[in-house]
Structures are given as C-alpha cells and as structure tokens.
Structure 1
Amino acid sequence: MSSVHNDQSGPAVPIALPANQPRQFYRGGASIAALRGSDDREFGPEDWVASTTTRFGQDESGLSRLPDGRLLRDAVTAEPERWLGAEHVAAFGDSTALLVKLLDAGQRLPVHCHPSDAFAQRHLGSRFGKTEAWIVVGTSGANPVVYLGFREDVAPETVARWVATQDSSAMLGSLNEIPVRPGDTVHVPAGTPHAIGAGVFIVELQQPTDFSITLEWQGFLADAEGAFLGMDRQTALETVNRDGFGDAVLDSLIKRTADRSEPRVPLLADDAAPFFRAERLHGGVELEPSFGVLIALDGSGNLRTDGGTELPLHRGSTAVIPHSAGAAQLDGDVTVVHCRPPTAGSPR
C-alpha cells in the first residue's frame, strides 16, 4: 500500500507504522530489532506502537508519527469519530483509551506499580490510571520469569521501610516469581507491585498513561526524584496493593495459551476486559470495525478491508486500524496480535 491520508476525501485505511523507540533508563531492544528487522538499540527496549501517549513530563516523546508526517495523536484529535467510532467517543472522548508496546527486557526491571483511575484523577489530573497486561512473545536465558504481587500481606510500614532503605532483595523476594514462556499472558491490575525479568519479550497493553511509582529506584534511576511522579513518598505509596496474591488470585490473572492453535485465541484474563482486549489471530479471520493495533509475530499475509484496500503484513509489521476502515479480513499464513480498547459499555 502506498501513501495513506485519513482525511475527508477518502476512506480511512489501515496504516503500517515504523518503529517508535523513545530512550529508556534500562537496557534492551535486541528482540525488537530481530522481530522488526531494525537496528539494535541498547536503550531502546520499548517500541510504542500507534501511541497517542507521551512519556511522563514530555511534550512529544513517545508519540507515533504517521507516514504522512502527522502525529497520530493530532490525527485522532482532528477526526475522533473516524478513528475511534461514535460509541467509543461518547465513552472516552478523543482518547484511544489504549497504549500498546513491544517491551524487551534486556535486564530485570525494577519493582514498581501503577496508579488506579481513582488515584490518577485525585493526584495526577488524569482520567486514566495504568492497568496493564503482558503477552509473552519471546524468552531467552535459563530462567525467564516475571514477578507479580506480594506473596503475603505486607504492612504499610514495611513497604515504607523497604522503599526508604532501598532494600531490593526484600522487595523482590516478597513477590510471586512466575516462570513464563511464549503464549503466556499476565493481567496486572493497577497498584500491583511487579517486575519483568531479563530475557522476557512481551506485547504490553496499557491504559494510555506513563505513570509509574518506582519502588526500587536505586541502580535504575539517577535519584529518587523521578520515582514518585512529583508526589511525596507517602502519597505515592498509597498506590501499592499490599494484599498477598495466593494461587487463586494468580490463576485469575494468568493465562497459558501456547498450546492453542485455533484462528482466533482470546489472550487476556476476564478482568482485563474493562481496560483493553487482545487476541492472537492466524489467517482467514474477520475483524469487526474498531480502532485497533496489529503486531505481526510470524509469517506473511494481507489485511483487506471492505473498501478494497489491502495492507501487506509480515513478521515484524505493526499497523494501526481506524474504526472507519470498516470490517477487514486477515488472510495468509500470518500470526498477529490484535489489540483493541475496551468496549464502550465495559464496567470498571
């Protein structure tokens, strides 16, 4: 497909996107480079796909740019119903209500958590907090793991002491350590302390913010100033869910989908539905009209819309689909992750 313009002169169509890797504080990026066929960047561990979200405190860093030079954020703001659909706009305004990333952990990430919607509204002036989910698409090393939630209830003064003294071993050791392989998915509710181990490569769905409370900042950030989003430490620590996650809770958050090979595989835990949706698709599948983000994991094929446009896809392709592109058909021997915002009526 050649140049594309989503203006009133013609139908909106799916658009292929280049990599968008704002520099981060941690190492990684080799798996993104291998998937996308791009240059490896030591501090490019995140590819923000179809992003209308900026990095915290930045004006443009993190935003995706369309092939015609416009920021996707500006294109959506100018024509929200064409991009998002009338029902979505009625529920969420001109926000996509979604941030999708490729994340390649070249080193273990620090223990951190994210604020809820209510906390973000109260303290950060944002409608959205940052619930997220991980779809594991690759692993390396002898022991690929993620860390999710405290194993046992933890007193607030204990969390405060760990953070004040930067007791990394206590923080990490208090969390559930979960071995992962490609096809595993993890739902991470807001407030859940978590970390991602080295060698874990994921597609990450998030609410559209860059809010992180970094509990374990020493050795990762330059100082504590950037760890708490400009809030005092006591206020920031109110975000932490200190409840222990037992087997029943973990089972409700984690899905294992590697052995499922049907054309359409729902990927996320039921509790993720109010925040975002994701499926793994393989050839011969119809997509209903919706704003969406595609990441091709393997093979090659095409995405054809009812309007007659065709977007070639191959391993490493990423694309954004406007709602007004209408229904589309995925064809060929291609496997993709299809990410979408929540439905307009999803209860929180």
Structure 2
Amino acid sequence: MYQEPIFLQPVMQERIWGGQKLHKLFGYDSSYEKTGEAWAISAHTHGPSKILNGPLQGKTLLDAWENYGELFNKLPDSDEAYPLLIKILDANDDLSVQVHPDDTYAREVEHEAYGKTECWYVLDADPGAELILGHHAETKEELHQMIDQGEWDELLKRVPVTKGDFVHVPSGTIHAIGKGIVILETQQSSDITYRVYDYDRVDSNGNKRELHLQKAKEVTTVPHVDNTINPTEEVQEDLRIEKLIVSEYFSVYRWDLQGHVTKLLDKDFLQISVIEGEGTITVGEKEFTLVKGANFILPSGLQKYELEGNVEFIVSHPSTNQIG
C-alpha cells in the first residue's frame, strides 16, 4: 500500500507545567498557552496522530494499525495494541514526581494493554537543569514511611542533565522531568501515571491534582537500581548511527547524517523524528523534504530508501515480540 514514508501530525496536549518551546523549537502549532506534550507518533486512544500523506491521508495511526496491519508486519489475527508512543515534552516547570506500573500490574489492575517503560533523549536543557530519577529508600517500609511523612528531599534522587543526555526509565522507577528540560520520550503505548508528589500545586480552578499514593507504593521498585547505558556506534556511508538502547520493549538510536546514505528497511517498521537540520528522503521516484520537527514511519515492505542532507534523527522500533 505505502511505498513512501507515513508522515504524522503531532497531537498537542495541555499540561499545567507546559510552555511554548514546542512551537519555538519545532514549529508546532497549539492553541494552548501551556503546551506540555506533542504526541508525535501515537496510536493511543487518548491522542492518535493523524496521517498527512498517501492513501490513508486524514486517517489516524490507530486506524492504520487496526485496519491495515500489513504496514507494520502485524499478524492478521492479532489483537495487540500498537506497542510504542513517541512524545516531545516541554517542561516549563517541574513535572510531578511519579511512577508507572509494569505490564502485569497494568493489565490486572488497570485493564490496560501495557505498563510503561520509557526512555528520554534530552533535546534542550537550561543550565543547572535536573531530573528526579530514583530514590534512596532501602526497603518498602522505609519508602512508605518517607512518602507518608513527606520527606521528599531525603527520599528523591536528583540527577543533573545537559543536551544530548540519554536516560532509561524502567517501569517502577520514581522519576520527574525538571524545569527547563525538553525531551523526546520513547515509551510503551500507555497513559498510566501514578503521582507521588506534585509540589502542592493547584490548577486554574484552585484544586490540587490527584495523587495515587497506594498504587505508587505498590509498583515502585525497592531498592532503586541505577541503569547503566552503554551506547555503541557504527558508520554507514555518511550516516553515524549511535545505538542508545536495546531493551525488552524497544530499540532507540540517534542517527547523524552529514551527506548521503542508502539503506534497507530490515525491521518490521521504523519510527523516525527529525530533531535537527534538514534534508530529504527518497523512496523510488518520490522525494520528501525533511525538516526539524517532522515525524514519520517507514512501513513494512518499503525496502530501500535514501537519506540526504545534514540531519539528526531519533529512530526507534519495537522489540520483535511486541508485534502481535
């Protein structure tokens, strides 16, 4: 059906901690004063991306997944949900301290398809910016006591970050993106979040946001274990490929193109976001312009394609066992 990339329109999401950087950095239009997230490649029911070109133009990625599974090499009788979700987040203020469940808990308790393991590539960060990643409690009892007593400074582990850093956040990890950070997030396609602490903020109606302390206590990994990231690099023609992570749920890469490369699609499909620069992608006789902020999928069966320009990409695909 598609012998071309499937370009997608991001879905903007208003958040209490959002700002205007998604428009300034990527040109995304939003009617929200506080735009926190662009769901760039999404087949989630809470915000499916719209297809911008080709035979399915005007339909959503969710439509394509459910009705044209061959685009993703999906088994015909599979009832699996689309496995991944790509977001770009603007933390104009601190996000809530939160934690996500694993697949088993999500299915048994929330009756959702997936839990949420995620990873972050830092696209921009103010000087001195920090993440919360993990905690200092050694036992469940200590974790519960420190949460109940509000001992946040003692409990939470803070990590400084700069542009270009990469962070893996498995399910069960207490975390928060700090003020002044813009990230590209690759995650399981899940919208389950348990808030642990929200700085006693109130919304526009003067109400505090809901916390989910009991569920958060149940799913948090204790003790916290730091994840070591060991990226590897290879070069194909004028393309430098940095393999950031290969995990149970996804593989994520940073591609840095300075010239031209011809590649073969050797995965079920690829998700690609342009994070810097501009160039072109050519499939057969068709050439498409690539600009910063573009998001697209290379569908199954596309085979050979060519990239040209000075462009930086974040590329991902699901683990093979995630496709029905």
Calculate the TM-score normalised by the size of structure 1: 0.79
Matches of 1:147 and 1:294, distance apart in 2: 27
What corresponds to 1:38 in structure 2?
28
Q: Which of 278, 286, 289 matches 2:252?
A: 278
Shift of 1:199: 0.9
Aligned CA distance change for structure 1 residues 96 and 244 (closer, same or farther; 3 Å): closer
Amino acid at match of 1:151: H
Amino acid at match of 2:121: I
What corresponds to 1:219 in structure 2?
201
Aligned CA distance change for structure 1 residues 264 and 256 (closer, same or farther; 3 Å): closer
Shift of 1:328: 2.4
Matches of 1:163 and 1:176, distance apart in 2: 14
Shift of 1:163: 4.3
Aligned CA distance change for structure 1 residues 197 and 236 (closer, same or farther; 3 Å): closer
Q: Which of 120, 128, 135 matches 2:106?
A: 120
SS of residue in 2 equivalent to 1:324: coil
What corresponds to 1:58 in structure 2?
none
Shift of 1:227: 3.3
Shift of 1:73: 0.2
Shift of 1:287: 5.0
1:292 has 2:270 as partner: yes
Amino acid at match of 1:295: S
What corresponds to 1:156 in structure 2?
140
- Tell me if the contact between 1:105 and 1:200 (Cα under 8 Å) persists in the aligned partners: yes
Shift of 1:327: 3.3
Shift of 1:35: 2.4
Shift of 1:208: 0.4
Shift of 1:198: 0.7
- Tell me if the contact between 1:54 and 1:209 (Cα under 8 Å) persists in the aligned partners: no
Higher mean Cα deviation, 39-48 or 199-208? 39-48
* Residue correspondences, number: 306
Shift of 1:235: 4.1
Shift of 1:39: 4.3
Whichever structure has more strand as a proportion of its residues is 2
- Tell me if the contact between 1:300 and 1:333 (Cα under 8 Å) persists in the aligned partners: yes
What corresponds to 1:190 in structure 2?
171
Amino acid at match of 2:271: V
What corresponds to 1:4 in structure 2?
none
Counterparts in 2 of 1:26-175, with a 5 A limit? 26-30=17-21, 32-39=22-29, 41-55=32-46, 62-67=47-52, 68-81=57-70, 83-86=71-74, 89=75, 93-140=79-126, 142-153=127-138, 155-164=139-148, 167=150, 170-175=151-156
Matches of 1:27 and 1:213, distance apart in 2: 19
SS of residue in 1 equivalent to 2:11: coil
Shift of 1:122: 1.4
What corresponds to 1:239 in structure 2?
219
Amino acid at match of 1:65: K
Aligned CA distance change for structure 1 residues 189 and 38 (closer, same or farther; 3 Å): closer
Aligned CA distance change for structure 1 residues 48 and 172 (closer, same or farther; 3 Å): farther
- Tell me if the contact between 2:146 and 2:155 (Cα under 8 Å) persists in the aligned partners: no
Matches of 2:82 and 2:2, distance apart in 1: 19
What corresponds to 2:157 in structure 1?
176
SS of residue in 2 equivalent to 1:27: strand
Shift of 1:17: 2.5
Amino acid at match of 2:252: A
Matches of 1:94 and 1:118, distance apart in 2: 15
Matches of 1:213 and 1:291, distance apart in 2: 31
- Tell me if the contact between 1:110 and 1:220 (Cα under 8 Å) persists in the aligned partners: no
Aligned CA distance change for structure 1 residues 146 and 254 (closer, same or farther; 3 Å): farther
Q: Which of 333, 336, 341 matches 2:310?
A: 333
SS of residue in 2 equivalent to 1:26: strand
Q: Percent identity?
A: 27
Aligned-CA RMSD value:
2.8
Matches of 2:68 and 2:168, distance apart in 1: 31
SS of residue in 2 equivalent to 1:279: strand
**What do residues 187-230 of structure 1 show as CA deviations (whole Å, max 9, x unaligned)?**
00101001111111111011001010100143167446x433xx
1:302 has 2:280 as partner: yes
